[in-house]
Structure 1
Amino acid sequence: MTDPSATTDRTPPSDEQLEEEGDIAADFIEGLLDIADIGGDLALDTRSGRAYVAVEEDGDGSLSVLSNPDTVQALQELTRIAVQAKTGRFSRLILDVGGSRDARHVQLEKLVDAAIARLDDGASQASLPSMSSYERKLVHDIVADRGLVSESYGEGSDRHTVVRRG
């Protein structure tokens, strides 16, 4: 049931609210895994003001069908909607399936390195493909670690990051 006192603004959630989001998300993911007859162990955490739910392999190998980054992104959005339906609050929950977030981080590092190579070849800036706000944040961190600057441009699903020298 939706909490009538819940706000729809983007006020940072409290630790209790993040734990509630994680519990609701875990129940939702467990239900999906049961329906699909896919094994997995759940781990809940809070990181950087977000609920973080990891679905880890339980040894039967069936989780690999869900660990594709596009599939994880879709499951994350469904899970966020389920959490929002229960709490009445916007959720910035992060879902990791079978280490997919670490794998995606490596892919993002390669994208940034390719952008830097374009800069080294004389480009004044290098655009990266559109990606989620979470992935753009990771890209900004990677770019900063490499001593360059980045900014996000565009709206909605077209929002992307541009890398340039400072």
Structure 2
Amino acid sequence: MDEAISSALDKLKASREEVEIDVISEGSHGIFGLGAEEACIIARLKNDITNRPVTRAHDAVSVIQEVIQALLDRMGLDAGVEYLPDAMVTEETGNESGMVFDILGEDLGLLIGRHGQTLSNFQYLVRILVAQRVGEYLPIVVDVNGYRQRRFKALETLARRTAEQVRIRRVPFSLEPMPAFERRIVHLVLANDPAVTTESVGVGEERKVVVVPREGLSK
């Protein structure tokens, strides 16, 4: 992180007090050097009007669509992108669903990848590129032919059915390993359930959600 800030100050030829810093990713050392990620920040001069964030939603949507379409074209994919303002995907924590953009086309399975991992990486790249353009990190969610929306509905149904079984049997139940965004959906769906609570266990690709009966409840 210190290296990223130092590099930004050098490029802007400014002191730390003259620059606003938005942290995109703090980076990670990984394990024995494996899985390491560099820190990523957005730096801009405080008094530079040209670097201020885009404030109009329409402008942000246009920029995001341009970035996604440019990436698709460079990848040689015959696909387009559509903004879905009312879509429910729930990629972000809390109750925010994010700005959902659906990529439409044929034979896009490779863009989704195993358990949606390739799509998650593509989405991360889109967020970084858009942040560089608009000056702020936006809660962008990228979907492919409605994959995330279908998965959201399936996980919502699974979470509620599992919670009902845990409530009746009064024993914990482990779901299959899931990527982070899918685990968030389960946590969010059951967040206010009076009979059960949820926790994530495991490491890496084996990390999964366990639905547990709340303490102090009678059978």
TM-score by length of 1: 0.65
Look up the match of 1:165. 213
Q: 101, 116, 129: which is aligned to 1:82? A: 129
Establish whether residue 8 from structure 1 lines up as the match of residue 11 from structure 2: no
The CA distance in 2 between the partners of 1:7 and 1:54, in whole Å, is 30
Look up the match of 1:42. 81
Q: Hey, which of these two has a bigger chunk of helix by percent? A: 1
The CA distance in 2 between the partners of 1:62 and 1:127, in whole Å, is 29
The CA distance in 2 between the partners of 1:70 and 1:64, in whole Å, is 11
Q: Is the 8 A contact 1:28 1:82 kept in 2?
A: yes
Larger Rg computed on CA atoms:
2
Q: Is the 8 A contact 2:174 2:211 kept in 1?
A: yes
Deviation of the 1:38 alpha carbon: 1.2
Establish whether residue 53 from structure 1 lines up as the match of residue 114 from structure 2: no
Aligned-residue Cα RMSD (Å) equals 3.9
**Number of residue pairs the alignment of both structures matches:** 155
Q: Which has the higher contact order (CA 8 A, sep 6+)?
A: 1
Q: Is the 8 A contact 2:67 2:129 kept in 1?
A: yes
Q: Is the 8 A contact 1:22 1:52 kept in 2?
A: no
Question: Gaps spanning 5+ residues in structure 1: where?
Answer: none
The CA distance in 2 between the partners of 1:149 and 1:15, in whole Å, is 42
Deviation of the 1:131 alpha carbon: 3.5
Equivalent position amino acid for 2:128 in 1: I
CA displacement 1:101-132 (0-9 Å, x = unmatched): 13322553476378548836653464764643
Deviation of the 1:64 alpha carbon: 3.1
The CA distance in 1 between the partners of 2:128 and 2:67, in whole Å, is 10
Deviation of the 1:95 alpha carbon: 0.7
Deviation of the 1:162 alpha carbon: 4.0
The CA distance in 1 between the partners of 2:172 and 2:108, in whole Å, is 42
The CA distance in 2 between the partners of 1:108 and 1:138, in whole Å, is 7
Q: Is the 8 A contact 1:21 1:51 kept in 2?
A: no
TM-score by length of 2: 0.52
Secondary structure of the corresponding residue to residue 62 of structure 1: coil
The CA distance in 1 between the partners of 2:19 and 2:139, in whole Å, is 19
Q: Is the 8 A contact 1:33 1:40 kept in 2?
A: yes
Establish whether residue 123 from structure 1 lines up as the match of residue 165 from structure 2: no
Look up the match of 1:93. 140
Look up the match of 2:107. 62
